[in-house]
Amino acid sequence: MDSKPATDARSPAYRDDRNHVFHSWSAQGALDPVVVAGARGSRFWDESGRSWLDFSSQLVNVNVGHQHPRLIEAIKAQAETLCTLAPYHANAATSEAARLIAEVAPGDLNKVFFTNGGAEAVENAVRIARHHTGRHKVLAMYRSYHGATAGAIALTGDPRRWGAEPAMPGVVHFWGPYPYRSSFHAQDAQQECERALAHLADTLMVEGAHTVAAIALESVVGGNGILVPPDGYLQGVRELCDRHGIVLIADEVMSGFGRCGEWFAIDRWRVTPDLITFAKGVNCGYVPLGGVIISERIAESFRQRVFPGGLTYSGHPLACAAAVACINLYREEGLIERARWLGDAVIGPALRELQQRHPSIGEVRGLGAFWALELVRDRDSREPLVPFNASGAANAPMAEFAAACKRLGLWPFVNFNRTHIVPPLTIGEDELREGLAMLDEALSVADRYCV
Ligand code: PLP
């Protein structure tokens, strides 16, 4: 990057950013960030007042939209009372947040270890599973994302791991179900389910199931493509874990807290994992928060034995007060049911209708407020619109599609050859249809690359 200070006169915020902020996952010199001046509901705007409809919910976290007054009130009230506290004390906000999370969690998942975000939740879930079982190996999926810290990135099954390798030892990757691009040459979803389970059973056999502490998976794979597992898959993984005494970790950092039209995506299949990792939607990221929900059986193994882990800000009162307000809001405003309705009544049908008219849409998939369009050059061969992990010129079709969305006033979530439709659960139906109309227009840019 040019080491000269930026003199761009756009605004002090832009200048200071370019001179001093080191951004995630980026070549720093290539960045030209929008300076966001404000946000409300499903929209945010820049310093000139130009606004975008947020179809990405930022990083799929603002489930209740931006600047929800009830969350702001709760944070203000907590700030007046008690901003911060060492985690060895108890306090009203943290206790209530833990109780509410346990109330909405499935089965006997009843104890909460709080972290500052998703990656730390995954780190601690792995540590809990290893100490509980006395085993060290962890199985995780290809095409997954679990966070960017040392252990969580080792579990991650996408190119974001490459830059952190050699990663934490003891992690083995396996293929999960993905009917549209089956690793198992399956003809339909049921065959995909059976073959993916057989592959997992074989992986356990050759790895030595007795050496495996945990299988960690996203109940519905998020960042890697909104891959909804076929019915029966998660039940099958549960059975394999039970047979071999393996801890099942459901990573619900993105899919949890209403995103999939359930409190946790895994609820849809009535499967109870042993540990759930959460973050994002628990309080929509108004103050950073994540954690692990722990079954009574696993918590019991730490009743006498010390759990070897901790964080200065575990159970942060401001973050937990926001979680209390957020969970109450989900309940009182029926937002979990609303997400299901958005998917069934509006987003799913609208995207399928777009598929009729846009040859670039290879597949439409999703549920709740969690949808993907997989874009292709050719529907018959399913050749992706851009190659796997493309950058620069090779990624031009997706970059042009994203630029078209932004020009029209829509902020898209774009990854590889997909766009994800993941708006706030609170988005108004009119706004949603307005966004879908912009998407419709932008897709004509992608269509130009079709054979
Ligand atoms: N797990 C999943 C499924 C995620 O989608 C993410 C982030 O997107 C993480 C873990 C990591 O969360 P964080 O970025 O809060 O560390």
**Per-domain boundaries in the chain:** 34-67+334-447, 69-332
- Protein residue whose Cα sits closest to atom 5 of ligand 1: 254
> H-type helices in 113-188, by residue range?
118-133, 150-155
Consecutive 10-residue averages of pLDDT for the chain (451 residues): 53 96 96 97 97 98 98 98 98 99 98 98 98 98 98 98 97 98 98 98 98 99 98 99 99 98 98 99 98 98 97 98 99 98 98 98 98 98 98 97 98 98 98 98 98 94
- Cβ contact 43:51 at 8 Å: yes
Point out the ligand 1 atom lying closest to the alpha carbon of residue 280.
15
**What local confidence, expressed as pLDDT, does residue 195 receive?**
98
Pocket test for ligand 1, best of 145, 259, 284 (most atoms within 8 A of CB): 145
Alpha-carbon span 87 to 323, nearest angstrom: 17
> H-type helices in 82-117, by residue range?
92-104
CATH classification (class only), 34-67+334-447: alpha beta
Going from the Cα of 139 to the center of ligand 1, the distance in angstroms, rounded, reads 17
| CA-closest candidate to residue 220, choices 193, 192, 248, 253 | 253
**What local confidence, expressed as pLDDT, does residue 6 receive?**
57
> Which of the 8 DSSP states describes residue 385?
S
**What local confidence, expressed as pLDDT, does residue 157 receive?**
98
- CATH topology agreement for domains 34-67+334-447 and 69-332: no
Pocket test for ligand 1, best of 253, 282, 313 (most atoms within 8 A of CB): 253
Classify domain 69-332 at the CATH topology level: Aspartate Aminotransferase; domain 2 (3.40.640)
**What local confidence, expressed as pLDDT, does residue 1 receive?**
36
**Tens digits of residue pLDDT in 126-135:** 999 999 999 9
For the question of whether the overall pTM of this predicted structure is more than 0.85, the answer is yes
